[in-house]
Amino acid sequence: MSDPFELGDPEPASAPAAASLRPASPPRYLLDLNDTQRQAVEAIDGPVLVLAGAGTGKTRVLITRLAHILLSAKARPWEVMAVTFTNKAAREMKERVAGLLGQPVEGWWVGTFHALAARMLRANAEVVGLKPNFTILDTDDQLRLIKQLLDAHGIDDKKWPPRVLSGILQRWKDRGLTPDKVSPAEGSDAAGGRALELYADYQARLRALNAADFGDLMLHCLTLFQSDPAALARYQRQFRYLLVDEYQDTNVAQYLWLRLLAQGHRNICCVGDDDQSIYSWRGAEVGNILRFEADFPGAQIIRLERNYRSTPHILGAASGLIAHNTGRLGKTLWTDVGSGEKVRVRGVWDGEEEARVVGEEIEAAQRGGLRLSQMAILVRAGFQTREFEERLITLGIPYRVIGGARFYERQEIRDAIAYLRVVVQPDDDLAFERIVNTPRRGLGPAALQTMHRLARDRQIPLTAAAGRLAETEDMTPKSRKTLGSLLADFERWRGLVPVMSQSDLAAMVLDESGYTGMWQQDRSVEAPGRLENLKELVSALDEFESLGGFLEHVSLVMENDEASDGDKVSLMTLHGSKGLEFDLVFLPGWEEGLFPHQRALDEGGVGGLEEERRLAYVGLTRARQRAEISFAASRRIYNQWQAALPSRFIDELPAEHIERVAAPGLAGYQSQRPMVSDSVFSGGGWSGGGGRRRAVTIDAASWHAEERPSAADRFQVGERVFHQKFGYGRILDVDGNKLEIAFEKAGNKKVMDSFVQSATPGPS
């Protein structure tokens, strides 16, 4: 008899098999669950929704359930589908199921939505007009294709950048809308009213190329189910059991796909947490989880309340925070994990100090026996990783960036560095080649080829070849002119190296070359993050003695990048941390405008704020033993220091679960809340919006051992003062603890009184 776990054709089975795998006594894996979890595992038949808070064992239930279904011979491996969100989660799920069963699970229907839909589509490609070997396009190919279509339609791609259009098409696909289903009204405002027409053309082009983009994987499956009911019926018969993790973040297309597949046997088990819905910006609909009972009448709703992950203080802090959201289902969570330490909330002077303190804490924890893989730094915005990466490299602590590239490996950072390399070193061919046509300035492959030919021929660097070509007739007059002015720009920038600060010069190079502008015009979801990264890079430059010193540093940092799989600290965004857990979690940058992020507030209003709060909840609940929140009092944007305010989320943490610590430089730091008008993260081009600002109140008494008199008692208008970062200045206005000061070098600023000293010798 063949092995029941061997994968044959995914033929539907008429009767359950694998009886030989039935364990003799109550299986061990069920004993490892609490009663409610066990109920969720054993309620095999009919629809089940496990709706429960973080760390209550939802993923564990799902995995055990999969094993249980197979071991109790309810279905054979190819009759069960288990879906999850990220590749990392899918890998872990496979490993854990394989561990429980003592069997490899290759070839089973366990994976991400994308992977499973692609598999289905390959088996039925003809129905949607593709061949089984269709290509899945990456983003670059996708954008190139859209650009061609824009050209063909005579639409200005400056006004309607391909990325914007690609975003619009993606949102339609997320909602399960093929071109014929998009309402004309909705399609009317983009691309001069022709977005819908472009969508139809784009789909036709993809078919002609035998290609699909990521959004198509799900969309084509829906079309398949609609146009070939027999195929749908086959899958409905095949999948006796459906299991879905992180259900709160499914989009409409995924939801429809699941619902159709589940209509056969109606054995669908979804697990999720409405408080952890953090992907609405990618089309996720938390409503899907709320509608479950209506979609599957008679569904069992199981709530898990015992949290196995975190200490009571961590759980208390997270629960207190999320309670500030309205319109949630609400849950009780308890734990009997030992009491543990309070969540630490630390005020630091600036980002550098924040990174230094985190580095010290990591070293101390390591000395205490904690493995690096049990520690994570979770940031709100990608640019924040730089300061931590630098610090970890300096300390020789290995780290990995999960779900993204290391700071200096990011596309826009590499481009910017290439510009700086050519400024410092005109013979750097690789760098020159990288940016000669980025942003696009009409110096495409043909022009580059001509430059290369001459360079090879004469054994000279590319820029030298370019210089000669700019003066001869070997290129079109237009290319010659562009090349000539680019070279002249580099010449000019090079001349400024001795007289300008690195930061100012880099900002100038990036602006004048059109590089910053390229991303400013780009309205894709990634563009603002890339601009933030560029600002971070420019700000960081002044930490180095010279541009050359910085470039040297970067090459050393890059070299540090060994590929070993050893014990490493994890760095990732809060979004990327969903479902994961670590003993020690650092949550830096809890400042107004950064977290909650100004963009989320500007674009999403109250809904945006609540999603940010859920993100904070996700972050806190990743921690098992210890969570450390920090906020900086000032951040450097370009070469300007700006004041920052603690995040409102800090105020929302219940006092009994947190311990406030101030770094030495901030002793006496008052956070009795002024409205600071030049908050780092609002205005000034940082987030594009003037922004809402609000006063934040922190209970000063619990923050400080000693009360300090208000600024009005200590300072007077007109007084000359000294500020630790901005230097000398004269007070223009005193308002509570806030001073408005005309600094001699830094101009007018509003600052906290705690950072200011009188510069005139006083009576005391």
| Residue positions annotated with a catalytic role | 58-59, 245-246, 276, 622
Using the minimum distance from each CB to ligand ATP, give the nearer residue, 220 or 578.
Answer: 578
Between 245 and 353, name the residue whose CB sits nearer to Mg ion.
245
Asked if 201 and 169 touch (Cβ cutoff 8 Å), the reply is no
The residue count for binding Mg ion (CB under 5 A) is 3
* The amino acid at 461: P
Stretch that binds Mg ion, among 192-200, 414-422, 483-491, 571-579 (CB under 5 A): 571-579
Which residue, 275 or 536, is less far from ligand ATP as judged by CB?
A: 275
- Would you state the structure tokens that stand for residue 409, as one six-digit string? 């490996």
Structural element, H or E, at residue 202: helix 195-208
The smaller minimum CB distance to ligand ATP, of residues 135 and 300, is found at 300
Least separation in angstroms between residue 574's CB and ligand ATP is 12
Residue 229 class from Cβ within 10 Å (0-12 exposed, 13-18 middle, 19+ buried)? exposed
Write the binding mask 596 to 625 for ligand ATP: x where contact by CB under 6 A, - elsewhere.
-------------------------x----
Q: Which stretch binds Mg ion (CB under 5 A): 12-20, 51-59, 277-285, 639-647?
A: 51-59
**CB 585 → ligand ATP: shortest distance, Å?**
12
In angstroms, give the least distance from the CB of 109 to ligand ATP: 20
544 binds, among ligand ATP, Mg ion, none (CB under 5 to 8 A by kind): none
The residue at minimum Cβ distance from Mg ion is 59
Q: CB 94 → Mg ion: shortest distance, Å?
A: 15
The verdict on 5 binding ligand ATP (CB under 6 A) reads no
CA geometry: angle at 614 spanning 613 and 617, to 5°? 90
**Per-residue contact track with ligand ATP, 26 to 65, x per CB under 6 A?**
------xxx--x----------------xxxxxxx-----
Strands (E), 553-697: 569-573, 582-587, 623-632, 634-637, 640-643, 658-662
Which of 397, 761, 311, 309 lies closest to 579 in space, CA to CA?
Answer: 309
Q: Give residue number: closest CB to ligand ATP.
A: 57
Shortest approach of Mg ion to residue 66 CB, angstroms? 14
Strands (E) across 102-152 are located at 109-112, 135-136
Piece of the chain touching Mg ion by CB under 5 A; list 292-300, 433-441, 454-462, 572-580: 572-580
CA distance 61 to 271: 9
| Closest to Mg ion by CB, 60 or 342 | 60
Least Å distance, CB 306 to ligand ATP, is: 8
- Residues near 202 by Cβ (< 8 Å), separated by ≥ 6? 145, 146, 149, 169
CB of residue 52 to ligand ATP, shortest distance in Å: 6
Rounded to the nearest 5 degrees, what angle is found at the Cα of 737, between the Cα atoms of 681 and 674?
40
Q: Check residue 76 and give left, alpha or beta (phi > 0: left; psi -120 to 50: alpha).
A: beta
Q: CB-side exposure of 459: number of CA atoms within 13 Å?
A: 0
Check if the beta carbon of residue 142 is closer than 8 Å to that of residue 149.
no
Query: Which range binds Mg ion by CB under 5 A, 56-64, 130-138, 344-352, 671-679?
Result: 56-64
Which residues in 424-445 are b (16+ Cβ under 10 Å) and which e? bbbebbebbbbbbbbeebebee
Among Mg ion, ligand ATP, none, the one that 691 touches (CB under a kind-dependent 5 to 8 A) is: none
Q: With CA atoms as reference, report the closest residue to 750 among 652, 683, 700.
A: 683
The residue among 335 and 598 lying less far from ligand ATP, judged by its C-beta, is 335
- Residue 33 interacts, among ligand ATP, Mg ion, none and using kind-specific CB cut-offs from 5 to 8 Å, with ligand ATP
12's tokens: 């539907």
Q: Are 222 and 253 in contact (CB under 8 A)?
A: yes
The Cα–Cα gap between 174 and 282 comes to: 8
Query: Which residue, 59 or 577, has its beta carbon nearer to Mg ion?
Result: 59
Distances (CA, A) of 300 to 52, 270, 288, 596: 13, 11, 16, 36
Residues 281-320, mask of contacts with ligand ATP (x by CB under 6 A):
---------------------------xx-----------
Of 229, 231, 29, nearest in space to 123 by CA: 231
DSSP assignment of 54-90 equals TTSSHHHHHHHHHHHHHHTTSS-GGGEEEEESSHHHH
CB atoms within 10 A of CB 56: 28
* Residue (281 or 308) nearer to Mg ion, CB: 308
| Segment interacting with Mg ion (CB under 5 A) among 58-66, 410-418, 569-577, 749-757 | 58-66
DSSP structure class, residue 697: B
> Shortest gap between Cβ of 90 and Mg ion (angstroms)?
13
Q: Which does 57 bind (CB under 5 to 8 A by kind): ligand ATP, Mg ion, none?
A: ligand ATP
Contact (CB, 8 A) for 397 and 569? yes
Residue closer to ligand ATP (CB basis): 314 or 465: 314
Judged by beta carbon, residue 336 or residue 706, the one nearer ligand ATP is 336
* Beta partners for residue 377, in sequence order: 571, 586
Report the nearest approach of Mg ion to the CB of residue 316 (Å). Answer: 20
Q: How many residues bind ligand ATP (CB under 6 A)?
A: 18
Considering CB distances under 5 to 8 angstroms, the limit depending on partner class, which of Mg ion, ligand ATP, none binds residue 450?
none
Residue whose CB is less far from ligand ATP, 278 or 357 = 278
Taking the complex as a whole, how short is the minimal distance between the CB of residue 62 and Mg ion, in angstroms?
Answer: 8
Separation of alpha carbons 551 and 414, rounded Å? 11
**Interaction partner, residue 264 (Mg ion, ligand ATP, none; CB < 5-8 Å by kind):** none
Coil, helix or strand at residue 683: coil
Q: Are 616 and 710 in contact (CB under 8 A)?
A: no
Task: Report residue 396 as tokens.
Answer: 């020789």
- Give least dist CB 26 to Mg ion, A: 25
Q: Find the binder of ligand ATP among 79, 201, 216, 273 (CB under 6 A).
A: 273
Question: Over 707-725, what HEC string results?
Answer: CCCCHHHHCCCCCEEEECC
**What are the distances in angstroms from CA 284 to CA 171, 174, 489?**
10, 8, 46
Residue 278 partner contact from Mg ion, ligand ATP, none using kind-dependent CB cut-offs of 5 to 8 Å: none
- The binder of 273, among Mg ion, ligand ATP, none, by C-beta within 5 to 8 A per type, is ligand ATP
Which of 162, 359, 579, 608: binder of ligand ATP (CB under 6 A)?
579
Longest dimension (CA), the chain: 98
86 binds ligand ATP (CB under 6 A): no
Binding to Mg ion by residue 59, rule CB under 5 A?
yes
* Residue 34 interacts with, from ligand ATP, Mg ion, none (CB under 5-8 Å by kind): ligand ATP
Whole-number minimum distance, CB 685 to Mg ion, in Å? 39
Q: Give residues 576-595 in contact with Mg ion (rule: CB under 5 A).
A: 579
∠ CA 160-165-169, nearest 5°, is: 160
Q: What contacts 469, CB < 8 A, 6 or more positions away?
A: 450, 451, 454, 475, 480, 483
Q: Considering only CA atoms, which of 704, 681, 709 is closest in space to residue 693?
A: 681
- Among the candidate windows 33-41, 52-60, 517-525, 561-569, which touches Mg ion by CB under 5 A? 52-60
Report what 308 binds from ligand ATP, Mg ion, none; CB cut-off 5-8 Å by kind. ligand ATP
Min dist CB 579 to Mg ion, Å, is 4
The residues that touch Mg ion, with contacts defined as CB under 5 A, are 58-59, 579
> Which parts of this chain interact with ligand ATP (CB under 6 A)?
32-34, 37, 54-60, 273, 276, 308-309, 579, 581, 621
